[in-house]
Chain A
Amino acid sequence: QQQVKQSPQSLIVQKGGISIINCAYENTAFDYFPWYQQFPGKGPALLIAIRPDVSEKKEGRFTISFNKSAKQFSLHIMDSQPGDSATYFCAASMREGGSEKLVFGKGTKLTVNP
């Protein structure tokens, strides 16, 4: 019940296209949903995040869409660029006892062809 399911596992997009990555969760205790971008040899870096009382959040070319009733959220990358090629992780945050932990999806490897 603490899983976050992410799809697709890999994605190839042409430069200028739209990249869409989807995630789903079961546990309604999750209350914060960040997306992380990870380049090879680097740690994950926060890209954008949303809270469940908001249905959409946009920052530049990156948009999160959130459907609370369906327990699904997605990342849209508009005008995808070769520099966006990386692995993207969705995550969900929950409070447990006195701590807060992130539960990550398995990741999507995005390749943007020039």
Chain B
Amino acid sequence: DAGVTQSPTHLIKTRGQQVTLRCSPISGHKSVSWYQQVLGQGPQFIFQYYEKEERGRGNFPDRFSARQFPNYSSELNVNALLLGDSALYLCASSPKRVYNSPLHFGNGTRLTVT
């Protein structure tokens, strides 16, 4: 079975631009979460979506937004990019809205903002 897939794998953008990152969860998984991992740090929670609705949001500015589609795939959008947005963006899926169910992470999108 395919794991969580993310695209693109790498991306270079300029300050002030906008970026869209994409995620396909494991087949049958309805919950998608997004995490930001800055180099040398642990992942930090950005959003959780379940059944196409936002269920939780981390401490990130409104420049960050996301959505989930009927097929449970998801997009993360970041507007007005800053140098500090350079990071590995991880998508994770879980089977359903069951607390403490294991998160399955993709390999991430490496975003570099110059």
How large, as a class, is the contact surface on chain A?
20 to 34
Do A100 and B42 form a contact, CB below 8 Å, given A43-B105, A44-B90, A45-B105?
no
Contacts of A100 in B (CB 8 A): 48, 56, 99-100
Contacts of A103 in B (CB 8 A): 45
Q: Does A101 contact B45, Cβ atoms closer than 8 Å?
A: yes
Give residues in A with beta carbon < 8 Å to B.
Answer: 4, 6, 31-32, 34, 36, 41-46, 49, 51, 89, 91, 93, 95-107
Which of A43, A89, A103, A106 has the most chain B CB atoms closer than 10 A to its own CB?
A43
Cα distance A91–B90 when bound, in Å? 15
Q: Is B108 an interface residue (CB 8 A)?
A: yes
Cα distance A101–B45 when bound, in Å? 6
Q: Can you report 21 A-B residue pairs in the complex whose CB atoms are below 8 A from each other? A: A4-B42, A6-B42, A42-B107, A43-B105, A44-B43, A44-B90, A44-B105, A49-B100, A51-B100, A89-B43, A97-B55, A99-B50, A99-B55, A99-B56, A102-B35, A103-B45, A104-B44, A105-B42, A106-B40, A106-B42, A107-B41
Q: Does A43 contact B108, Cβ atoms closer than 8 Å?
A: yes
List the B residue with the shortest CB-CB distance to A49: B102
Do most interface residues of chain A lie in helix, strand or loop, or is the interface mixed? strand
Which of A4, A31, A95, A96 has the most chain B CB atoms closer than 10 A to its own CB?
A96
Q: Is B106 an interface residue (CB 8 A)?
A: yes
Q: Does A93 contact B42, Cβ atoms closer than 8 Å?
A: no
Q: Does A99 contact B48, Cβ atoms closer than 8 Å?
A: yes
List the B residue with the shortest CB-CB distance to A97: B56
Contacts of A99 in B (CB 8 A): 48, 50, 55-57
Contacts of A49 in B (CB 8 A): 100, 102
Contacts of A43 in B (CB 8 A): 4, 90, 92, 105-108
Given contacts A99-B56, A107-B41, 20 further A-B contacts (CB under 8 A): A6-B42, A31-B100, A41-B107, A43-B92, A43-B108, A44-B90, A49-B100, A49-B102, A51-B100, A89-B42, A95-B99, A98-B56, A99-B48, A99-B55, A100-B48, A100-B56, A101-B48, A101-B58, A103-B45, A106-B40
